Every structure is written in structure tokens, then in C-alpha cells.
Amino acid sequence: EMLIDEEELDCTQEILHMLSDILKTLDDEQFFSLALTFLKKSLEESLLKTNYASALKIFQTAHYIRELCQKEQSWALNEIETFLIEVSGPDYIELLKEPLNEKETPHLKEIQEILLLLSPESIGTLAHMLVEIESSQTEEMLIEVITTLAQQDYRPIEPLLKDASDDLLLVLIGVLNRVSSESAHQLLFTLTRHRSEIVRKVVLRTLINKKIWNPESYFTMVEDESTSIRKTVLDYLGSKRCEDTERLFINYLQKGKLSNSESPHLLACFRTLGLCGSERSIPFLQELLFGGNVFVKLLGSPALHGAGIALSGLDKQEAWFILKKAAGSLYPGVRRSVREFLED
């Protein structure tokens, strides 16, 4: 059997050398296509026989041939790229499923080298294989492979996000965390509306740890059903002065979005406005304190209290002037709404 394997390897190597020669000296498209067909068959046989050295050699040479095509023979580039996509498909990866599911995989390193040479199109197949793996060592290897492939092209991850299990989504969030791309960040933001609270929490923490600043995308979580998520996103949006964030909160509060909300959440939004805002917020907050319903000014309300919180958070001279003016108002509800900020 070893002798047969060596003969097959020699035959495969001859074909690989011939492919290189065709690219360097000839333009024989028909033979090039036939040679690639033979290599696909050889690869299948190598994987079936667990001859990973031969399989790895085929992949390595295919990548080398693609480099030659890019430099010298553009006519063959489409064929070799199609070849690499086809051998990265489920039919070929499936041949590695059984050895990877074994408790001990003696060829794990060789298989990893093969997987790293797959097209990123294989990410979907590898991800679904990942959830069936029992060995932690093999699982770590597959996550590393998926991450490396995603750094080449993360787009095959997108179709997985719709129906993936929560456990797989947590892995994919970790993968996307290591991809530096604005579009990849937007994929993460799509998960901030996921049905699972743990997924939303993890993706929010991931985005914050990456220091991604996109107030409009975060703002969708301001009304999240989870108290801890609301607190986390409000804390982050209030972590620095930002005109975009300020505008979002002013519009949100002006439209009465919180008229039926609980007072603690209403006050938290006003607090965030004070931390992120500027002088542009003052007219809106001043109108809340001194305009409007007489009964509200007599009795007070969470919105009045919120206006006081926001003005104190702005920490601007004009804001303090308004707070002092409110403290001398004829209306007890207005006075009570600002009293705590002027006690010192």
C-alpha cells in the first residue's frame, strides 16, 4: 500500500510540474484544464486514504500556480481560482470530518495546514463542522483556521449570522472581532438586534472593547429590553462629548419617545445627554424647565428632573445660570427639579 501511495504521489508531482511548465512555456488551455481535473481526483483519493502529505502538496502547488497566473498567464487565472473554490467545497471538507471527530487526531497539524489553504468560501462548511466537534484542541484549531480565512475575506460569515445557534454566533463574534474592516463592524452591529440577550451583550462588549464609535448604530440599543444592556450602551454614549450623539438624544426626547417609559430610564437618558452634549442642548432643556404645562411645573415630573440632571452634566456657565434661575422659580416643581444640583 505504501508503494502504491508513493507511485500516486510521484504521478501527482509530475502533473504539478507539468502545470508549471505549461504556464511558463506553453498556452495549452485544454491540457491545463484536464490536468486540474486529474488533480481534483488525486486530492479526493489522498484525503480518503488520509495521505495528507500528498493533499497538502496539491494545495501548496495550486496556490503557487495561481501566483504564476497572476504574474504571467492571466488566461489560466479563472480556471485555477475555480479549482481552489471547488476543492474548498463541502464534498472535499467532508472527507476530513471523520478524522477531526476522533478523540485523538494524530494528523491535526497536517490537516490544519491544508485547511489554511482553503478558499474563504469554506468558512460556512467549517463553521457548521465546528459545532459537532468534541475535542477542545480540534475546536481551537478550527476557530483559528476560520479566523485566518475571515481575515482574507469575512463575507462568507454574513449568511451564517441569520440562523446560527447562539454558541456558534459567539464564536463568529470572536472571529469578526479580529477583522479590521468597517463592513465587518457593521456585521457586528446587526447582531445588536439579535433575539438572544447573551449574544447582544457579547457583541456590544466586543464593539466597545474595539473602541468602535458609531453613535447611530449603538442608539438602536437605547430601548433594549435588558436593563444591563441599556446601562452599558448609555454609559458608552456618554463617555465623550459628541455632536452626533447629542443630536440623537435631543431628537429622541423631543419626540416624546420616553413619555411612557420608567422614570429611571428617562433620567438615565437625560444624564447621558448631559455627558455627551454641549451648548446646543441648552435651548431644549431650558424650554423643558420653564415652558409647558402649569400643573407639571407645580407638581414636578421626571422630565423636569431630567432637564436638571442634563444641565448639571453639561457643566457650562450658561447651564449653571439656568439652574440657579430655576431654583428661584415661583413653581415648586421647577425648584425641586434642580435643588440637588445647587446644594453645594
Mean pLDDT (whole number) for 31-54: 88
Question: What's the pLDDT tens digit per position in 232-287?
Answer: 999 999 999 999 999 999 999 988 654 545 589 999 999 999 999 999 999 999 99
Query: What percent of the chain lies above the pLDDT cut of 90?
Result: 62
Q: Mean pLDDT across the chain, nearest whole number?
A: 88
Find out whether 53 and 10 touch, Cβ atoms under 8 Å: no
Closest by alpha carbon to 271, among 313, 226, 301? Answer: 313
Question: What's the pLDDT tens digit per position in 282-327?
Answer: 999 999 899 878 888 888 888 899 999 999 999 899 999 999 998 8
- Model pTM? 0.84
Question: What's the pLDDT tens digit per position in 122-174?
Answer: 999 999 999 888 888 999 999 999 999 999 999 999 999 998 999 999 999 99
Closest by alpha carbon to 44, among 100, 77, 83? Answer: 83
pLDDT of 203 > 80? The answer is yes
* Per-residue pLDDT, 261: 54
pLDDT of 25 > 80? The answer is no
Residue-wise burial string across 306-342, b where 16 or more C-beta atoms lie within 10 A, e elsewhere: bbbbbbbbbebeebeebbeebbebebebbbbbbeebe
pLDDT of 3 > 60? The answer is no
Q: At 53, which amino acid appears? A: A
How far apart, in whole angstroms, are the C-alpha atoms of residue 206 and residue 225?
A: 19
How far apart, in whole angstroms, are the C-alpha atoms of residue 43 and residue 261?
A: 62
* Per-residue pLDDT, 36: 86
- Assign 18 a pLDDT band (cuts: 50, 70, 90): low
SS3 label, residue 331: coil
CA distances to 222, 264, 276, 303 from 248, in Å: 11, 19, 10, 17
pLDDT of 216 > 60? The answer is yes
* Per-residue pLDDT, 1: 41
The backbone torsions φ and ψ at residue 162, rounded to the nearest 5 degrees and listed phi first, read -70, -45
